[in-house]
């Protein structure tokens, strides 16, 4: 709390200084112009002197001293401007922090608005709505029976297709096995002739 009070006093002082700042800046600009015009007049008068260089050096020294004083006041104004901007920034930060803390302290709003209650329905109407008509019950039972029959037919068809595929697979395996056995029989080597048959009959 003390920090906020100090900040408010500082902001007030800086605002007062900021209100005076434009007139002070224009006054300093006018002073700078007057110093430059006086220096120009004095430099022109030095041309009539016997010791021109010494006169010009003195005029330059006086000009520099006067401009230094103006520069010091200008820097003070610039410092005040910087402080005013810093105070404004701090004030905005404190306002934002205060708003965020206030929002955090506020109770959370409900996500949904409560729904209005439906008008009371008589018990007889609820009972009639809950109890289906006999025709509806019959049609529901018939559609349930049809869907179960359809499911059973599809399952039987899938089983037949699976069995047919298995039988075809077995037949192709048997066929390949028979073909391999036939190739082996055809490629069997000829019997080796006996030694007496190789020599032939003796004379």
Residue 153 within a domain? yes
Is the same domain home to 77 and 21? yes
Q: How far is CA 41 from CA 34, 44, 56, 63, 169, in A?
A: 11, 5, 11, 12, 122
Is the same domain home to 152 and 91? no
Residue 74 within a domain? yes
Model confidence over 90-131: pLDDT tens digits? Answer: 999 989 888 887 777 766 665 565 565 655 555 555 545 445
Supply the pLDDT for residue 201.
52
Residue 127 within a domain? no
The structure tokens listed for 69 are 């004083």
**By residue range, what is the domain housing residue 23?**
7-103
Mean pLDDT by 10 residues, the chain (203 residues): 48 52 87 93 88 90 94 92 93 88 70 58 51 56 70 86 90 89 72 58 50
pTM more than 0.85: no
Domain boundary among 103, 138, 168: 103
């Amino acid at each position: 709390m003390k920090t906020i009070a100090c900040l408010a006093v500082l902001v007030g002082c800086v605002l007062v200084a900021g209100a005076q700042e434009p007139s002070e800046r224009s006054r300093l600009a006018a002073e700078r112009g007057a110093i430059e015009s006086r220096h120009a007049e004095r430099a022109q008068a030095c041309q009539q002197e016997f010791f021109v260089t010494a006169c010009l050096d003195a005029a330059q020294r006086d000009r520099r001293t006067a401009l230094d004083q103006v520069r010091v006041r200008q820097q003070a104004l610039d410092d005040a401007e910087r402080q005013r901007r810093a105070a404004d920034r701090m004030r905005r930060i404190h306002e934002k922090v205060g708003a965020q803390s206030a929002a955090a302290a506020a109770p959370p709003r409900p996500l949904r608005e409560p729904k209005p209650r439906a008008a009371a329905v008589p018990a007889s109407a609820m009972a009639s709505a809950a109890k289906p008509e006999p025709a509806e019950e019959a049609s529901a039972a018939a559609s349930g029976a049809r869907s179960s029959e359809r499911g059973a037919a599809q399952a039987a068809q899938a089983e037949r297709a699976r069995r047919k595929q298995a039988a075809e697979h077995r037949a192709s395996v048997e066929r390949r096995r028979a073909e391999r056995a036939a190739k082996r029989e055809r490629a069997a080597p000829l019997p080796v002739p006996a030694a007496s048959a190789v020599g032939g009959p003796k004379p």
